[in-house]
Amino acid sequence: MRAMAGKPRPVSERELDLLAYIIHYKKNFDGCAPSMREMDRELGTNSTSTINYYLHRLERFGLIELLGEPRTTRLIRVVGGEWHFEIENSNLEIAI
pLDDT at 1 over 70: no
Long-range contacts (CB closer than 8 Å, 24 or more residues apart) made by 24-30: 26/76, 26/78, 26/81, 26/83, 27/83
- Prediction pTM value: 0.73
pLDDT band with cut points at 50, 70 and 90 for residue 94: very low
- Boundaries of every domain in the chain: 13-95
Quick: pLDDT tens for 8-32: 789 999 999 999 999 999 999 988 9
Residue 61 is classified by DSSP as T
Pick among 3.50.50.60, 1.10.10.10, 1.10.3470.10, 3.40.50.300: CATH of 13-95 = 1.10.10.10
